[in-house]
Amino acid sequence: MLLIRTWDWLIGKLNVSVDRKFIFVTGCDSGFGEELCVELDRLGCHVFAGCLTVEGMVNIKDKCSAKVFPVKLDVRDHASILNYNFPLIPGLWALVNNAGICGAVGPTQWLNAGDFKEVLETNLLGAIDVTLSALPLLKSENKYDSCRIVNMISVLAHFHSPLTLPYTLSKASLSIFSKVLRMELKGMNVRVCTIEPGAHISNFTDRTEMSLKQTWDRLPLVDQLLFGKQNYEKS
């Protein structure tokens, strides 16, 4: 369902030709990014798949045709984005900011500033950096039809829940960034869209459960005793 909606935002609504349409997707090592690359490839699109790891690049290469080109990209590293050299991409038509991490999970008093920084660097600042780097090229291609920036946020950006404050904060902030950018780019033939997946079963949700355990395990024994293992297991 998520892939269908993402595709609808990208191409389905306008019934446009995919010829010479290049789409850049971040976070393609696994999950939604990987699945989107496979689907876009099936539909005949040209895709640049940003992967954090070499293993992710190999996986994309194995699953997709030559129209999908995997590239090494760490959205947390500005130099990595610059090294990609966006201006050399012919006809960049859409950007999908999908790269994201769940980060530390647990009650806020279990967390530290580093936990928030880690998530914000990927989910918010990384998406902003990639967008600003790609925006000049997206604007230069608007003679064909409306370009697109698609930001993957979350229902948690609007419906907040305990235990996931760093993640929720990052997605709420990315939602605000998207809304303001949408207003600023109105009339420039660049559409800014957001996708808000819910609690889909994926590697991401598996990592959330693992992160909660890791956060618990690093707590000092006195805090574990104060909170109680039974309460942790109910979290």
3-state secondary structure of 29: coil
| Cβ-contact 150, 175 below 8 angstroms | no
Alpha-carbon distance of 37 to 60, in angstroms, equals 8
Q: Is 167 a catalytic residue?
A: yes
Q: Which of 84, 144, 167, 232 is catalytic?
A: 167
**Length of the chain in terms of residues written:** 235
Instruction: Identify the helix (H) or strand (E) that includes residue 80.
Output: helix 78-84
Q: In whole angstroms, how far apart are CA 193 and each of 134, 159, 175?
A: 15, 19, 10
What is the spatial distance between Cα 86 and Cα 134, in angstroms, rounded to a whole number?
A: 6
- The phi-psi region of residue 70 (left if phi > 0; otherwise alpha if psi is between -120 and 50; otherwise beta) is beta
Any idea which residues carry the catalytic annotation? 167
